[in-house]
Structure 1
Amino acid sequence: MEYQFSDRVKALKPSAIREILKNSSAPGIIPLSAGNPAPDAFPYEAIRKVSAQLLEDTPIEALQYGVTEGYAPLREHLLGYMKKKHQVGTENDDILITSGAQQVMDLLTKTLLNEGDTVLCEAPSFIGSLNTFRSYRAKLVGIPMEEDGMDMACLEKALETEKNVKYLYTIPNFQNPSGITMSFEKRKKVYELCQKHGVMILEDNPYGDLRFAGEDVPSIKSLDTEGIVMYAGSFSKVVSPGMRVGYAIGPRAVLQKMVVCKQGEDVHSNMWAQIVCHRFMTGFDYEAHLQNLRDIYSRKSAVLLSAMEEHFRPLITWSHFEGGLFAWCTLPEGTDMLGFVKRAMERKACVVPGTAFLTDETEPCRSFRINFSTPTDEQLREGVKILGETAKAM
């Protein structure tokens, strides 16, 4: 049979990272490409204890249908926690529990965009979100990144000249893939510009709790007095990505439409996982758990930085990062980045080519992304050594 695919999906390509991950799981491969939490970051003993108690005391609560908006105690606790700790949420906001933060991107896009409408996003940006926007046939316009976030002049020009801009997508903390954190001055400017042009902001913050250096920067959502920011949070990097629990905090009117869209997608998010997240946050020392994660990634990043200092200089440079899971590295002028990635892969060191994160994958790019949370310390040292030797050989 000859299959006729819809216009919306026939031009879509598989996620470059997902395809690379297939190779990175092969025996002997050094997995510098993944974005998975470190194996010792999972609170599996607490999850085991909570799950056993839940299935013994109130199993039907975990196994029965729930409401689309999410498990009520988790929603209530998150609203209070995010307001108290991060000044996120106003009286006009509400919260929706989603199947991972990725679903926030999908639901907001489905809610706001018509085919051909424009989404502004950082360049580079997270490929998972870019592919979601592409699946709705959005026009993607990339805003170049500087060391402290987006280029404000380019953002202002895009807001003034692009047609039907529905929202700006940003990862302001330890951005994936660049590791860059947007300065507070730029966050205020982003909010001011988007408010002026009547454009929503989708603030994606999966890594915000993983700061291991420097000072916290207030979220864009904490500045929101006009209901133009949708905040996407997640338990994937702080509890478990496999549980698929994320959340959106934003204007009630927009969330109500997202709820309707979610009803048609998956009815509601996993009830067991929602309850476990709630009980873990309220029944254990959650702040101590977050500090433990920061300690883990601080140490892992130090291993990476030491290896890069030894093997990368002076050929390969990297962006400054103070948290998160990634380092964004750039090859010398004239280097064939894709050829470099291929040759490194042949030597068993797997990284993600920078082109995977561009709104236009045909644009020139000399950068690649390293993940330091997944590999062991020895794998980090050996992988970086291979990358350095490959660059010198080229």
Structure 2
Amino acid sequence: MDYFLSDRVQTLKPSAIREIFKYAADPEVISLSAGNPDPEAFPVKEIAEISNDVLTNRPIDTLQYSITEGYVPLRNALKDYMKNKFNIGRDFDELIVTSGAQQVMDLATKSLVNEGDTVICEAPSFIGSLNSFRAYKAKLCGIPLESDGMNLEALEKALKTEKNVRFIYTIPNFQNPSGVTTSLEKRHAIYELAKKYGVLILEDNPYGELRVSGEDVPAIKSFDEDGIVIYAGSFSKVLSPGMRIGWFVAPKEVAAKMIVCKQGSDVHTTAWSQIVASEFMTKYDFEAHLERLREIYRKKINFTQELLDKYLAPIITYNKIDGGLFIWCKLPDEIDMTKFCKEAVLRKVCVVPGNAFLTDENEQCHSFRINFSTPTNEQLEKGIKILGELAKEMLNKQ
């Protein structure tokens, strides 16, 4: 049978990361490709305690339908947390719970973007968000990413010349895949440019709580007095990705339409997950939990960067990071990145090719992304050593 597929999905391709997972499922393969938290990061005991309590004492709250906006105690806890810790949330804002932060990207695009409208993104950027934008037939405009954030000259040029720009998408903290953190100066500049040209900002912050060194940088949303920033947060990297709990803080007029879109998507976010997250935030020491995560990742980051210096330098260079889960590595121009990644798989090491994160996947790219949170230290050392040996071999053949 010939199946009819909508125009919206005709040109969509599978996520390169999800495709790589097929290889990574081989127990002999060292996966440096995933974005999963460290297995030690999950508060399994606490989640089990909370789940047992709520299923025993108030099962209907957990098993019945809930409201689209989110479980009220969780929303209240998040509103207090965002306001008190990050100065996020004004009288014109609303906070809504979603099925992971990925749903925020989908709902924002569905609510704001018509086919052919432009979404400005960092280049490179997170493939999951790029595919959300592509699914609604948006035109993607990539802005080169520098060591302290987007190139402002290129950003303003795009705002001047691109038609129907609906929003600027940015991951300002430990950006996926580059690891770059946008400076405070550039955050203010991006905000002022968005205000000047009358476009929104979609600020995605799944990694901000995972800073292991240096000083925190205020969120763009924290100085939003004009109602032009949609902020996306997530428990995926600090509690559990399997629970699928995210949230957004957005101007009420925008939030109202995103709520309607969510009703047509999944009705509401899983009640059990929301109750567990609420109880964990309010009845356990959430800050102590975050500090435990930071200590786990501080050790992992330091160890991984020592390995990169030992086995990859000077052939492969990389961006030093202060947090997050990813390191962006650059091959010399003489080495074909795609061939390098394919050969690495044959040697039982998976990394993500850099072009997967570009607005135009056919654009030339010499970088690849590695993740250090999921592998053991032994796997990290073995995998990075193999990558270094492969790079030397390929360079010597030139």
TM-score interval, smaller chain: over 0.9
Partners of 1:385 and 1:9 in 2: CA distance? 40
Matches within 5 A, 1:54-133: 54-133=54-133
Give the corresponding residue for 1:156. Answer: 156
Give the corresponding residue for 2:218. Answer: 218
Q: Does 1:175 align with 2:175?
A: yes
Q: What whole-Å deviation, never above 9, does each CA across 1:47-99 have from its counterpart, x for those lacking one?
A: 00000000011110000011000000100110111000001111110011000
Q: What whole-Å deviation, never above 9, does each CA across 1:225-279 have from its counterpart, x for those lacking one?
A: 0000000000000000000000000101100000000000000000000000000
Indicate conservation of the 8 Å contact 2:213/2:322, yes or no: yes
Give the corresponding residue for 1:377. Answer: 377
Partners of 2:91 and 2:317 in 1: CA distance? 45
SS in 2 for 1:232: strand
One-letter amino acid of the counterpart of residue 27, structure 1: P
Give the corresponding residue for 1:190. Answer: 190
Q: What whole-Å deviation, never above 9, does each CA across 1:130-182 have from its counterpart, x for those lacking one?
A: 00000000000000000001000000100011000000000000000000000
Q: Does 1:32 align with 2:32?
A: yes
Partners of 1:320 and 1:370 in 2: CA distance? 13
SS in 2 for 1:233: strand
One-letter amino acid of the counterpart of residue 59, structure 1: P
One-letter amino acid of the counterpart of residue 77, structure 2: H
Q: What whole-Å deviation, never above 9, does each CA across 1:347-384 have from its counterpart, x for those lacking one?
A: 11100000000000010100000000000000000110
Query: Aligned pair count?
Result: 394
Q: Does 1:233 align with 2:227?
A: no
Identity %: 62
Q: Does 1:299 align with 2:292?
A: no
Indicate conservation of the 8 Å contact 1:303/1:381, yes or no: no
Give the corresponding residue for 2:346. Answer: 346
TM (normalized to structure 1)? 1.00
Q: Does 1:9 align with 2:12?
A: no
SS in 1 for 2:329: strand
SS in 2 for 1:269: coil
Indicate conservation of the 8 Å contact 2:170/2:202, yes or no: yes
SS in 1 for 2:141: strand
Q: What whole-Å deviation, never above 9, does each CA across 1:189-234 have from its counterpart, x for those lacking one?
A: 0000000100000000000000001100000000100000000000
One-letter amino acid of the counterpart of residue 19, structure 2: E
SS in 2 for 1:242: helix
Give the corresponding residue for 1:267. Answer: 267
Matches within 5 A, 1:312-391: 312-391=312-391
One-letter amino acid of the counterpart of residue 56, structure 2: E
Partners of 2:25 and 2:378 in 1: CA distance? 17
Partners of 1:334 and 1:368 in 2: CA distance? 15
Give the corresponding residue for 2:50. Answer: 50
Partners of 1:21 and 1:312 in 2: CA distance? 24
Shift of 1:392: 0.2
SS in 2 for 1:273: helix
Indicate conservation of the 8 Å contact 1:96/1:248, yes or no: yes
SS in 1 for 2:125: coil
Partners of 2:184 and 2:302 in 1: CA distance? 26
- Tell me the C-alpha RMSD between the 2 structures: 0.5
Partners of 1:265 and 1:308 in 2: CA distance? 43
Partners of 1:22 and 1:272 in 2: CA distance? 30
Partners of 1:141 and 1:359 in 2: CA distance? 7
Q: What whole-Å deviation, never above 9, does each CA across 1:267-301 have from its counterpart, x for those lacking one?
A: 00000000000000111000000000000001011
Indicate conservation of the 8 Å contact 2:305/2:320, yes or no: no
One-letter amino acid of the counterpart of residue 258, structure 1: M
SS in 1 for 2:96: strand
Partners of 2:169 and 2:354 in 1: CA distance? 18
Partners of 2:322 and 2:135 in 1: CA distance? 33
Ranges in structure 2 where 5+ consecutive residues have no aligned partner: none
SS in 2 for 1:231: strand
Query: Which 4+ stretches in 1 moved above 6 angstroms?
Result: none
Indicate conservation of the 8 Å contact 1:337/1:367, yes or no: yes
Shift of 1:334: 2.1
Partners of 1:124 and 1:313 in 2: CA distance? 23
